[in-house]
Amino acid sequence: MSADHHRNAELQARVNRLLDVAEARGVITRAGVDQRIEAFSDRVTARNGAEMIVRAWNSPEYRERLLADAGAAAAELGHVGGGFSSDIRLHAVANSAEVHNVIVCTLCSCYPVAWLGPPPAWYKSEAYRSRVVRDPRGVLAEFGLVVPDSTEVRVWDASAEARYIVVPERPEGAEALSEAEQVALVTRDCLIGTALPTVPARVREVT
């Protein structure tokens, strides 16, 4: 049994004891906790961020608002930063032919959960947090994303006051897709900056 597994088991045991005490005192019910967790999981996904990106692809006016105040633009679509302090601002950084953006949190693992869903394990790892700052091109290449030498790579470091979301460029052929189909192209990794949205070959062939 690994040390991580042992620590996780200990943590879960502590959580269970706290839940038992809270339920015994009538503060909560296990069913109520489960319902809230399920509701949170359904509401907090990378689709929230993807919908913002696709709206920006198709509406220059919304794109301007997104880049000026991403939090307010998110709220327009009903994607509020649940649980976030009002002091935390969401910033949108846009990719272009000249610039590619990628986000990280070098101190801990600050991450825009409300708009990207739960963070992947690698985002929280020491390897990613330290290396992407020193060698962003090398790290991105390990994700299968080779950034041309002519394109500047900017690394945005999240903090207690700021969160970031990457606005990838709309891939060629995406304009022929419905909005729902475009949303499906924008993955969590696209919003972090470690991947790019791609249109299936069959769609490109038709267009």
Distances (CA, A) of 17 to 22, 23, 24, 111: 9, 10, 11, 29
Length of the chain: 207
| Whether 108 is catalytic | yes
Q: Which tokens go with 55? A: 């709206």
Q: CA-to-CA distance for 174 and 181, rounded, in angstroms?
A: 8
Q: CA-to-CA distance for 67 and 73, rounded, in angstroms?
A: 9
Distances (CA, A) of 90 to 125, 172, 199, 200: 22, 28, 27, 31
List 41, 96, 108, 130, catalytic entry: 108
Place of tokens 């930063």: 81
| Whether 109 is catalytic | yes
| Whether 190 is catalytic | no
The dihedral formed by the CA atoms of 121, 125, 131 and 133, expressed in degrees to the nearest 10:
80
Q: Is the dihedral of CA 127, 128, 134, 138 positive or negative?
A: positive
State the catalytic residues. Answer: 105, 108-110
